Amino acid sequence: MDLPTTTKAVRVHTPGGPEALVYDDYPLEEVGPGDVLVEIDTASVSGWDVKYRAGLLSGITLPGRRALPLPQQLGREGAGTVVATGAAVTRFRPGDRVAAVVHPENPDSLETIRGLGNLSKGIDVPGHASFGSYAKHVVRDERMWFPLPDHVDLEQAAVTLWPYGTSHRLLRDRLRVGLGDTLLVCGASGGMGEATIRLARLAGARVVATTRHAAKADGLRELGAEEVVVTEDPEAAVAAIRAWSGTDGVSHAVDYTGNATLLRLAIDALRLGGALCPASGAQVPPGPSPFTVNDFTRLEMTVVGVRGARHADALAVLDLLAHGRISNRIAARFPLAEAAKAHALLEQSTDLVGRVVLKP
pLDDT reported for residue 230: 96
Q: What's the whole-model pTM score?
A: 0.95
Nearest Cα residue to 103 out of 49, 169, 39, 57: 169
Residues 92, 35: contact at Cβ < 8 Å?
Answer: no
Other CB atoms closer than 10 Å to residue 70's CB: what's the count? 12
In angstroms, the Cα distances linking 346 to 45, 174, 254, 258, 313 are 8, 29, 21, 17, 27
**Digit-coded pLDDT (tens) for 237-286:** 999 999 999 989 999 999 999 999 999 999 999 999 999 999 998 888 88
Can you tell me whether residue 26 is helix, strand or coil?
strand
Q: How would you classify the pairing of strands 330-335 and 145-147?
A: unpaired
287 band by pLDDT with thresholds 50, 70 and 90: confident
Nearest Cα residue to 227 out of 251, 242, 170, 179: 242
Residues 181, 254: contact at Cβ < 8 Å?
Answer: no
For 164-303, the fitting CATH number among 3.30.390.50, 3.40.50.2000, 3.40.50.1480, 3.90.180.10 is: 3.90.180.10
∠ CA 172-177-181 to the nearest 5 degrees?
165
Q: How far apart are CA 177 and CA 167, in angstroms?
A: 11
CA within 13 Å, CB half, 263: 23
pLDDT reported for residue 129: 92
Residues 166, 172: contact at Cβ < 8 Å?
Answer: no
Task: Identify the DSSP state of 143.
Answer: G
> Looking at the predicted structure, is the pLDDT value of residue 1 above 80?
no
Q: Looking at domain 6-159+328-359, which CATH architecture does it have?
A: Alpha-Beta Complex (3.90)
224 band by pLDDT with thresholds 50, 70 and 90: very high
Nearest Cα residue to 191 out of 345, 9, 352: 352
Task: Identify the DSSP state of 4.
Answer: P
Residues 227, 202: contact at Cβ < 8 Å?
Answer: no
Q: Domain segments of the chain: what residues?
A: 6-159+328-359, 164-303
- Do domains 6-159+328-359 and 164-303 share one topology? The answer is yes
pLDDT reported for residue 110: 96
Q: How would you classify the pairing of strands 206-211 and 35-45?
A: unpaired
Q: How would you classify the pairing of strands 302-303 and 270-278?
A: parallel
Residue 74 phi, psi dihedral angles, 5° rounding? -70, 180
